[in-house]
Amino acid sequence: MKRLLWTGLVVSAAILVGACSHDSSPTGTDPPVATPVTGPQAVNLGTAGNYVILAKSAISTTGATSVVGDLGLSPASASFITGFALSAPPTTFSLSSLVTGSIWADDYDAPTPTSLTTAVLDMQTAYTDAAGRTLPDFTELGAGDISGLTLVPGLYKWGTGVSCNTGVTLAGGADDIWIFQIAQDLTVGNGAILTLSGGAQAGNVFWQVAGTTTLGTTVSFKGIILCQTLIALNTGATVTGRLLAQTAVTLGATAVINP
């Protein structure tokens, strides 16, 4: 188990790769050296990864929301997708001026219901995978308050909720993985910014939340949220990632962008 010195101290780690060996080829160039992935193995989303928002009971929005990517709802019907002014009549999918992508619901024409059932099962499997990872690198970091910290790739575990009231930085390479296991709620305060540095990618960040997820106004958030209950975004919040909820997703003049 790693110990952290924190409160104003950056959590950091560097993985150094051995020096390149000399290439005796006529070009005289050194061969590339692969950089190993740090952190745990990525969570496999299966077909749930086809959606930027996927929920089981409802997806709703108010105000000037913008979504880049597909939406899916199952087993609830399209009547529980509200605020998007869906195109009519739907076939296997519908459209909305708020969505750059397609919207799929369980009561649309085949094969949409079957595809959505599979996606929801994949979402639940991904949640169980993320929640079941063992041997965390960090436990109970900051007593659940990660505000102002810089976090290296790894598996993080809390038996409580997690809050971020100012901002947090994830520092690592393009292939590095973060998994956050949160036993209660995830709450991100108004104006908080999650920053990716060193080439870190939003698609490699997984937030497994057993309670509700609430993002405050004008929050800038990155990563894939696997939430067992509600995901709620307040006015002006922006997410680069995916919102995968086992109940509902509510948006309020927000932006969600496919990672």
**CA separation, residue 135 to residues 39, 86, 139 (Å):** 12, 45, 10
**CA separation, residue 34 to residues 18, 118, 175, 193, 197 (Å):** 10, 36, 11, 31, 20
Work out the pLDDT band at 220, boundaries 50, 70, 90.
Answer: very high
Answer yes or no: is pLDDT of 33 > 50. no
Listed residue (58, 72, 142, 67) closest to 106, CA to CA: 72
CA distance 44 to 122: 9
Q: What is the CA radius of gyration of the chain?
A: 20
Mean pLDDT of 36-56: 94
Work out the pLDDT band at 34, boundaries 50, 70, 90.
Answer: very low
CB 120 within 8 A of CB 48: yes
pTM, 2 dp:
0.87
* Three-state DSSP state, 118: helix
CA distance 154 to 137: 6
Work out the pLDDT band at 56, boundaries 50, 70, 90.
Answer: very high
Torsion angle in degrees (nearest 10) through CA of 117, 123, 126, 132: -100
* Three-state DSSP state, 144: helix
Peptide bond into 75 cis (omega under 30): yes
Structure confidence by residue, pLDDT tens digits, 136-171: 999 999 999 999 999 999 999 999 999 999 999 999
